[in-house]
């Protein structure tokens, strides 16, 4: 279960980043955070940019609606998903995680 946090601007999504992976994608969840893999190395913000791009792709949003709000140099990050209520993001993430689980088998 993801630990989503509502704000007046949108929803905070906790992410556990796995930079330098073979491919980009969802790895699952752990301790309330979405685990995401990106192939970019964690240097000069490249992995953070790749994470924003990946989140935009999987959520079907434009990149300017996703902002890194904490964890710039840490694997534990928090992203603000602008204009998306907790309930909406929770439903979307549940669907995505179910699809990921089905494809992993």
Summary mean pLDDT of the chain:
94
Whole-prediction pTM value?
A: 0.94
Question: Which tokens belong to 33?
Answer: 């955070």
- Output the CA–CA distances (angstroms, integers) from residue 17 to 8, 59, 86, in the order listed: 25, 17, 21
Domain at 58, CATH number = 3.30.1200.10
Q: What H or E segment, with its residue span, contains residue 88?
A: helix 86-104
Structural domain containing residue 50: 5-104
Tens of pLDDT, residues 33-76: 999 999 999 999 999 999 999 999 999 999 999 999 999 999 99
Question: In total, how many domains does the chain have?
Answer: 1
- Whether 97 contacts 24, CB under 8 Å: no
Question: Which tokens belong to 72?
Answer: 């710039």
């Amino acid at each position: 279960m993801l630990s989503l946090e509502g704000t007046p601007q949108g929803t905070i999504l906790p992410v556990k980043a796995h930079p330098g992976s073979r491919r980009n994608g969802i790895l699952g969840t752990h301790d309330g955070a979405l685990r995401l893999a990106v192939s970019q190395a964690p240097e000069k913000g490249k992995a953070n940019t790749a994470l924003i791009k990946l989140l935009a792709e999987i959520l079907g949003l434009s990149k300017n609606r996703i902002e890194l709000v904490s964890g710039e140099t840490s694997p534990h990050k928090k992203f603000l998903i602008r204009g998306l209520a907790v309930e909406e993001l929770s439903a979307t993430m549940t669907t995505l995680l179910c699809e990921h689980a089905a494809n992993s088998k």
